[in-house]
């Protein structure tokens, strides 16, 4: 705060306090106790047959006003309330925030800190840790991946064993820390509309879905020229690039002919935001363990 505004606030505050004191004592005509009979003098003002008494405040009410003025003076002396005057107590909002943050960090360390150096596999076996991981997941991840981790249109299902970048604890941690930027480049301008339709039929054939065999044969040639670099010669994907497996009948954007054509023609772009600047390391490990446990449930059921 500049010197001018600091002086302005100080003068305005003290002036208002002085005026309040003057008004309070100027109207204290006589000392009237609670037991005294009121003088019943009137102001001469009459409205609708009702007269207005001209009596001073009861003593207890007057003393309450005095107490609030004393409190105001003490408060302004201890805490910053008069412009640039910092107060005798040295209190600041920044200091209060840092104190609260320090207490929160201590509480977090007590609750979550024990999992920082624990292996993800071991955390995934801890029921208490999984409950905490589930709550963190619900607050930060469920909006995209669903409350149960089952995914949504354009967002991967985290409960199966189909991983774009790998499902090991290390890969899950890497994804959470740094995020992922998925990009399927548009192929329409490269292979033309006929190529888009042929490749679509070939992808349908890879999944055993209804397709046009003649077009699929033509699409296989286009696939080997344009798509194989990312998805592999057999179409089973490449986790190093985040290229999905096209043979497992698991679809991020749908398996209809129109949806596949749209993907091939116009491409896709997805973004998994990095969590390293949003969540503490111990919370990231708890989420990683929770996600890891979701995928393990499928293995246990088989």
Q: Would the pTM count as exceeding 0.75? A: no
In order along its 302 residues, the chain shows pLDDT tens digits of 788 999 999 999 999 999 999 998 887 765 545 455 555 677 788 888 888 877 777 888 899 999 999 999 999 999 998 988 989 988 999 999 999 999 988 888 888 888 888 999 999 999 999 999 999 999 999 999 999 999 999 999 999 989 999 999 999 999 999 999 999 999 999 999 999 999 999 999 999 999 999 999 999 999 999 999 999 999 999 999 999 999 999 999 999 999 999 999 999 999 999 999 999 899 999 999 999 999 886 555 55
pLDDT per residue over 19-51, tens digit each? 999 998 887 765 545 455 555 677 788 888 888
List of domains in the chain: 3-78 (no CATH), 112-179+273-301 (1.10.760.10), 182-272 (1.10.760.10)
DSSP structure class, residue 212: -
Contacts of residue 234, defined as CB under 8 A and 6 or more positions apart, other chains included, come to: 247
pLDDT per residue over 57-92, tens digit each? 788 889 999 999 999 999 999 999 898 898 998 899
Cβ-based neighbour number of residue 153 at 10 Å: 9
- DSSP string covering 54-104: --PPPHHHHHHHHHHHHHHHHHHHHSS-BTTB--TT---HHHHHHHHHHHH
Answer positive or negative: Cα dihedral of 117, 119, 125, 131. positive
Beta-ladder partners of 182 = 270
Pairing of β 42-47 and β 50-53: antiparallel
Task: Answer yes or no: are the C-beta atoms of 209 and 295 closer than 8 Å.
Answer: no
């Amino acid at each position: 705060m500049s010197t001018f505004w600091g002086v302005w606030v100080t003068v305005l505050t003290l002036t208002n306090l002085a005026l309040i004191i003057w008004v309070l004592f100027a109207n204290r005509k006589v000392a009237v106790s609670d037991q005294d009979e009121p003088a019943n003098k009137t102001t001469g003002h009459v409205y609708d047959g009702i007269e207005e008494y001209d009596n001073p405040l009861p003593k207890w009410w007057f003393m309450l006003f005095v107490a609030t003025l004393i409190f105001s003076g003490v408060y302004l002396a201890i805490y910053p309330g008069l412009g640039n005057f910092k107060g005798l107590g040295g209190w600041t909002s920044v200091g209060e925030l840092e104190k609260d943050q320090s207490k929160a960090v201590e509480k977090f360390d007590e609750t979550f800190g024990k999992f920082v150096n624990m292996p993800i596999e071991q955390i995934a076996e801890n029921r208490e840790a999984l409950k905490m991981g589930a709550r963190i997941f619900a607050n930060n991840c469920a909006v995209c991946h669903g409350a149960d981790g089952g995914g949504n249109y354009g967002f991967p299902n985290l409960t199966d064993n189909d991983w774009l970048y790998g499902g090991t604890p290390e890969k899950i941690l890497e994804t959470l820390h740094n995020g992922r930027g998925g990009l399927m480049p548009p192929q329409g301008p490269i292979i033309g509309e006929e190529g888009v339709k042929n490749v679509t039929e070939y992808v349908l054939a890879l999944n055993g879905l209804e397709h046009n065999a003649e077009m699929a044969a033509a699409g296989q040639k286009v696939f080997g020229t344009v798509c194989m670099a990312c998805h592999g010669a057999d179409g089973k994907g490449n986790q190093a690039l985040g290229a999905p497996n096209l043979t497992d009948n698991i679809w991020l954007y749908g398996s209809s002919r129109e949806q596949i054509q749209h993907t091939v023609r116009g491409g896709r772009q997805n973004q998994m935001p990095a969590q390293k600047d949003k969540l503490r390391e111990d919370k990231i490990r708890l989420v990683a363990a929770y996600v890891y446990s979701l995928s393990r449930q499928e293995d246990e059921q088989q």
